[in-house]
Amino acid sequence: MARRAIVSVFSGGTIGALGGLIGLGGAEFRLPVLVGVLKMSPKAAVPMNLFVSLVTLVAAFVGRSASLSLTPLQSLLPELVGLIIGGIPSALWGAGVLARMSDHRLSRLLAGLLVAIGLLLVVEAFLPNEPAGLAPAEALARLAVGIALGLIIGAAAALLGIAGGELLIPAFIFIFGADVTTAGTASILVSIVLVPTALWRYVRLGAFPANTDLRAIAAPMGVGSVIGAIAGGLAAGILAPWILKLALGLILIASSIKVFATRH
């Protein structure tokens, strides 16, 4: 138990720091660690990852609320509401799908989704972080686009145990025209609704981790993730974000294939 706690703190801190450097929570990198290093089953690792993500999200939102104004979020109200409306039912659906899957099929699915996110990080490394604003200007149209995106992102978050920032932040920047800072805050706000929704569904399905795993893994990994994310945020700018995204995207692809695609 002591070994698992030490590994959890160290891995949580390292992943949190790397995530903080590029503005992500790092949940996609925790999943291979939970399965490959800490030897959890995929079905147990996903809700565990969600629990740690929730701890990190709350800490990040408190920090941002204290240092940044939430006023810019008012202009994103239609898309925020749409993402939540679409994300809640899809998060519930995704949790239900995962609970019915065998470990073999789930491992293959997780490998494919994580590789896709790794490829997204690699592509993002070569894209400018300038707002694009591809969505229509009308509030109802932006609401509809938000609902459509929420259906996809909510399911991915529930199936992977992630907060969804990997998908939400690019959506806010490139589709809804938000700046990077506002996109990060908006992403956290949406995730704070979707993650507990998926967790509630896992609890109802009896798929939530045991208390011993929460004490040995979730608590130390959550502490490490929060400390690492704060440290990474303070150190942002030391390395160019595109270099980190490229490197981490390639690492995620390789680790996901090794841990999940070859698990069986």
What is the distance between the alpha carbons of residues 155 and 148, in angstroms, rounded to a whole number? 12
pLDDT digits (tens, 9 = 90+) for 145-201: 999 999 999 998 888 888 777 788 888 888 888 887 788 888 888 988 998 999 999
Residue with tokens 């704060």: 230
232: pLDDT strictly greater than 80: no
∠ Cα 50 172 135 (to 5°): 135
pLDDT score recorded for residue 144: 95
**Widest pairwise Cα distance in the chain:** 55
Q: Hey, what are 243's tokens?
A: 């270099």
Total tally of structural domains belonging to the chain:
1
Burial class (CB in 10 A: 0-12, 13-18, 19+), 119: middle
Whole-structure pTM value: 0.82
140: pLDDT strictly greater than 80: yes
Chain mean pLDDT for the chain: 82
| Cβ within 8 Å of residue 171, ≥6 positions away | 83, 149, 153
Report phi then psi at 237, rounded to 5.
Answer: 110, -15
pLDDT score recorded for residue 227: 82
Question: Which domain, by its residues, includes 200?
Answer: 2-261
What is the distance between the alpha carbons of residues 95 and 47, in angstroms, rounded to a whole number? 9
pLDDT band at residue 237 under the 50/70/90 scheme: low
